[in-house]
Structure 1
Amino acid sequence: MKQALRDLAALVARVGVGGIFFANGWTKLEDGLKATGAKFLAQGAPAPGAWATVTMLTELIGGALLIAGLAVSVTGLILFAEALGVFVVAPPLNPISLNELILLGAASLLLAVVGAGRVSVDHMVVIRRRESEAANEFAADTEADRVIASLREPDKSPAPEPQDEPAGTAASKDTAPHPRPRAKSGEVSRSEDPVPAPGDTLVAGRKKPAARTRRPPSD
């Protein structure tokens, strides 16, 4: 709400101050440069013809820019400098005109500092410029991400696929004889079976005891 009131106040001030400047410049244009120069000569201005031309153009162009709200900061300073120059070099003889000159100069300086508000060409130009800058930054970020992604892709090389081995190679690897580990000195290898003594018979992995003989009956 406060911002809306500020924008409305800035709009009213711009239209009022710019309208007065534009009306004064238009009056000088209608009167002609000779008549305006004669007024400046009566007010004691040196080179009255130059003062008439400069003030007429400044008030016409500056007033129109203030009403439109375009380059208000620069335009306000230029109009303030014009009013200050007229006040110092050729002050109006009419007190009302002098007071009007002072008020216009102060209002121009105030608008130059405060700004044109959101209801102005300046604000629309700033918004478009910010949007274009944001779009350019977004496009630059997207392009940078794409370049980084393209640089990272070659690093991720796929793992080499296993090559097909010729038939019989795997079987030969599995069926190839492997050397038995040698037992250390002092240790008996469990994998080796004990050699049976002559006459012994192994039954289910055990040595069969020798056959018993009958003793002859005693007399």
Structure 2
Amino acid sequence: MRSRPLYDVVALLARLGVGIVFLAHGWQKIQVGVTATADGFARMDVPAPTAAAIYATFTELLGGLALIAGLGLPVAGTLLFLDMAGAFVFVHGGNGVFLVDQGQARGGFELVLVLGLASLLFAAGGGGRLTLDHRLFPRRAREAGEPEDSEEPWPPPVEETAPVPAAEPPVEETAPQPRSRRTRRKGKGSPEEGRDSLADPPADSAAPPRLAADIVNDDVRVAGRRKSRPPEGDH
């Protein structure tokens, strides 16, 4: 997988190289003059030599600057490709590959072929992200074929991991303790005789306390009944 930052730097260098060549050729035509350039096209049987000279001069001059700055690459790249296509068809196509062969100027198509295809590549979105197009019109740059910045950001973001919560100590489940069963008491007069209870009786069900006077009166009555009872041997 290609490295996006490396590709962007290489694409910038390629644009600079191709743009400088176009800029130099356009400036050369300005120095010679548009009229002299049109006369030269006429001698090479280029149709509409004046219009072709004007188109070639300003397309190469302004298109070279656009490639260097990375501004309007789809339009600039397409116009430069058409310029080189016309030069290939009407001037250089029949002269072979080499510009110079065996020390003689042949005027071959090697230069126009390379410049034209490079311009087409830039028009299709191969200019990288180090362009004014990408800074000013990011949506148009993506539509032209450039990937979004979010695909491979540089430098790569540091992934933030969620903090791991501390493990809580396990809760020990204790079995419910059985209630102690009260033992049955067998003595007479015991308040718990004949009762098997799992819990203490409620407070409201307890017998009211007896007064000391009541206890004394009961003892007197019991003593009186015993005195009045005849002995068993008298019957």
Residue 56 of structure 2 aligns with an amino acid whose one-letter code is T
- In the other structure, the counterpart of 1:57 is 58
- RMSD over equivalenced CA pairs, Å: 2.4
Greater Cα offset, 76-85 or 95-104: 95-104
1:129 CA drift (Å): 9.1
- In the other structure, the counterpart of 2:32 is 31
1:39-93 Cα distance to aligned partner (Å, 9 max, x none): 2122211222221111001111111111000111221111111111222133376
1:109 aligns with 2:110: no
Residue 112 of structure 1 aligns with an amino acid whose one-letter code is A
The DSSP-based 3-state class of the residue aligned with 1:70 is coil
Residue 63 of structure 2 aligns with an amino acid whose one-letter code is G
Q: TM-score, normalised by structure 2?
A: 0.50
Count of residue pairs the alignment pairs up: 130
1:109 CA drift (Å): 0.8
Contact 1:44–1:89 (Cα < 8 Å) also in 2: yes
Greater Cα offset, 74-83 or 84-93: 84-93
Structure number with higher helix proportion: 1
1:177-196 matches, within 5 Å, as: none
Q: Partners of 1:53 and 1:65 in 2: how far apart?
A: 18
Q: TM-score, normalised by structure 1?
A: 0.54
- In the other structure, the counterpart of 1:81 is 82
1:119 aligns with 2:124: no
1:21 aligns with 2:32: no
The DSSP-based 3-state class of the residue aligned with 1:100 is helix
1:146-181 Cα distance to aligned partner (Å, 9 max, x none): xxxxxxxxxxxxxxxxxxxxxxxxxxxxxxxxxxxx
Where does structure 1 differ by over 2 angstroms across 4 or more consecutive aligned residues?
89-95, 126-130
Structure 1: runs of 5+ lacking an equivalent: 131-219
Q: 1:128 to 1:41 in 2, by over 3 A?
A: closer
Identity %: 42
Greater relative contact order: 1 or 2 (C-alpha under 8 angstroms, separation 6 or more)?
1
Q: 1:129 to 1:55 in 2, by over 3 A?
A: closer
